[in-house]
Structure 1
């Protein structure tokens, strides 16, 4: 494997000096030590391999692929286990997204098994409720204790909310294509049912969350019709596809003119980031085929579009009515 890697590096070498001298300089070792590594008399350490890969601008996937065409490397997001971790997650997401807002070519494709994160990051009850749900699912202490949302809402750190709101606003400046189906709203509805039935969510606030959820559906419908992001100062485009053939997965793909990456969730918020060129090309092609097999709602006719959004609004109204009589089960 090392001989293939060394051969690959030689092809990338500048040629300005001897390859051995160049390796010695990059690794900050003597000529003899570099010669032993180049001639495979001494094995390269993992740290040395990574240093060389970075210098010769070889991706870690390329480094790992040598001799293994069916294996790729992924980057795992940090574990979220408390409010501080969640705030860091929002902050890091903002840092990653902001460069995209400066690129007209940047776009996001979102397979929405659940309502996309950024719709729930506004100054609303549903934002605070989502934070409560996420921490209930990721924080061991919150999982064990019986703190209600009504009590929790006043304890949310201001800095956490500010980061959440900023992240939600950052998405306003990126071109977005989403894939929804009739079940995309169900996860959020079920969360309301669960905590209401557990007596951890009061009737008064449960109804307010339903109101916020209805506002989101109206917001998405308006964006769908105008094909642009509401409140976007750079006229970011928006397209919504109704996908009846495939089950959504919450996979997000980010594309620019020169680069692609996609994110695969494996817990509530944690994800695997994949930048491997060939795999990204496969995923990009998959999204393209999904578009072919889905309805672009702005072109599907007013009747189909209205039926799609009304079906979600009817689910919210049904849940709202059942909460009012203390019987939220069977909202679907």
Structure 2
């Protein structure tokens, strides 16, 4: 006898029934979650009518059900994606949503963030510094798809954007992080400074100040390595090609963020995918040098090399400025 394959509504209802207390009515529960009448909920439970996509998403969120696990199968995953950024308002919404994504893990004391830092992590370059303003200038110009001809000096930031970015920084500081850096992590920021200086959109004075901010970031990271905190772990990997993947992992939930544009991420909570990503991160950590645990010599070698790279860019720009005069 051939067994009929359950359709998606069967799968979702079965999963909800496992979540609902046995003494409770599934119809009443669904009516409350979807804010619909008892009769409308009854039609959905009896499958006389179908859940809309929005209703299915709402139910999965309410009952902490993974749509990946329910519907996609092992070889496919369902992903969310961050909103497209075209304006300061979009950027503020991006920061707000990112803070919410991380905050949802703060209820788990054992939660950890793993960050494969192809570029200096976003959290270092926000919070009211000149470099944070510069990064917003770069991101908004590039992400908007149009070249803004105004110089960096004429660029202004909405107060709400600063507030949301500062909130994101505060949330990041509250979670245990494991970051993997290599010798190229600072390259992108340096090249952005140099490119805009050569383009005449950035003065030498501000380029020098931005490089000083980069040095301050390095110093902050080094200080955190040395202060004995158990919430910050920095690793140096000489071989791995980093990709800005971010994994948030706790005992009861995981989220993997995979970049597809400069700030755009695909987000999945698929158990198998996140588990594989966690195994990969742990393997890379074993093959990296833990700068928190390294001796002074090894730690200084890594940070001094980065400082020297910044100095070379400053010297190059100062040399070019001298040639002009």
Structure 1 and Structure 2 fold alike (TM over 0.5): yes
Question: Given the superposition, is the C-alpha separation of residues 34 and 188 from structure 1 closer, same or farther in structure 2, using an over 3 Å criterion?
Answer: closer
Distance 1:75 1:189 in 2: 31
Q: Does 1:135 align with 2:136?
A: no
Give the equivalent residue in structure 2 for 1:263: 257
Deviation of the 1:262 alpha carbon = 1.2
Give the equivalent residue in structure 1 for 2:302: 308
Question: Given the superposition, is the C-alpha separation of residues 98 and 72 from structure 1 closer, same or farther in structure 2, using an over 3 Å criterion?
Answer: closer
Give the equivalent residue in structure 1 for 2:95: 90
Deviation of the 1:54 alpha carbon = 6.3
Deviation of the 1:51 alpha carbon = 6.9
| Number of equivalences | 309
Question: Given the superposition, is the C-alpha separation of residues 245 and 9 from structure 1 closer, same or farther in structure 2, using an over 3 Å criterion?
Answer: same
Residues 97-106 or 211-220, more deviating: 97-106
Q: Structure 1: any 5+ residue segments left out of the alignment?
A: 229-235
Question: Given the superposition, is the C-alpha separation of residues 246 and 93 from structure 1 closer, same or farther in structure 2, using an over 3 Å criterion?
Answer: same
TM-score by length of 2: 0.84
Residues 298-307 or 184-193, more deviating: 298-307
Give the equivalent residue in structure 1 for 2:202: 201
Alpha carbons 1:253, 1:260 under 8 Å: kept: yes
**DSSP-derived class of the 1:326 partner:** helix
Matches within 5 A, 1:280-299: 280-299=274-293
Question: Given the superposition, is the C-alpha separation of residues 31 and 178 from structure 1 closer, same or farther in structure 2, using an over 3 Å criterion?
Answer: closer
TM-score by length of 1: 0.82
Distance 2:116 2:314 in 1: 27
Give the equivalent residue in structure 2 for 1:146: 149
Distance 1:101 1:248 in 2: 26
Alpha carbons 1:2, 1:43 under 8 Å: kept: no
**DSSP-derived class of the 1:262 partner:** strand
Deviation of the 1:170 alpha carbon = 2.5
Give the equivalent residue in structure 2 for 1:104: 109
Alpha carbons 1:175, 1:237 under 8 Å: kept: yes
The Cα RMSD (Å) is 3.0
Deviation of the 1:286 alpha carbon = 0.6
Matches within 5 A, 1:22-33: 22=26, 26=30, 28-29=38-39
Deviation of the 1:257 alpha carbon = 2.4
Deviation of the 1:61 alpha carbon = 1.4
Question: Given the superposition, is the C-alpha separation of residues 56 and 3 from structure 1 closer, same or farther in structure 2, using an over 3 Å criterion?
Answer: farther
Q: Structure 2: any 5+ residue segments left out of the alignment?
A: 32-37
**Structure 1, residues 149-208: CA drift from partner, whole Å, max 9, x if none?**
0111xx221221222223223222111110000000101011011101111000010000
Give the equivalent residue in structure 1 for 2:67: 60
Distance 2:250 2:41 in 1: 41
**DSSP-derived class of the 1:123 partner:** coil
Question: Given the superposition, is the C-alpha separation of residues 146 and 24 from structure 1 closer, same or farther in structure 2, using an over 3 Å criterion?
Answer: same
Deviation of the 1:92 alpha carbon = 2.1
Distance 1:101 1:36 in 2: 38
- Of 69, 74, 79, 2:74 maps to 69
Deviation of the 1:69 alpha carbon = 2.5
Deviation of the 1:265 alpha carbon = 1.1
Give the equivalent residue in structure 1 for 2:35: none
Question: Given the superposition, is the C-alpha separation of residues 199 and 73 from structure 1 closer, same or farther in structure 2, using an over 3 Å criterion?
Answer: same
Residues 101-110 or 274-283, more deviating: 101-110
Residues 264-273 or 126-135, more deviating: 264-273
Distance 1:156 1:138 in 2: 16
Matches within 5 A, 1:202-217: 202-217=203-218
Matches within 5 A, 1:149-168: 149-152=152-155, 155-168=156-169
Distance 1:317 1:147 in 2: 27
- Of 240, 245, 249, 2:239 maps to 245
- Of 120, 123, 126, 2:128 maps to 123
Alpha carbons 2:27, 2:42 under 8 Å: kept: no
Deviation of the 1:57 alpha carbon = 5.6
Distance 1:45 1:172 in 2: 40
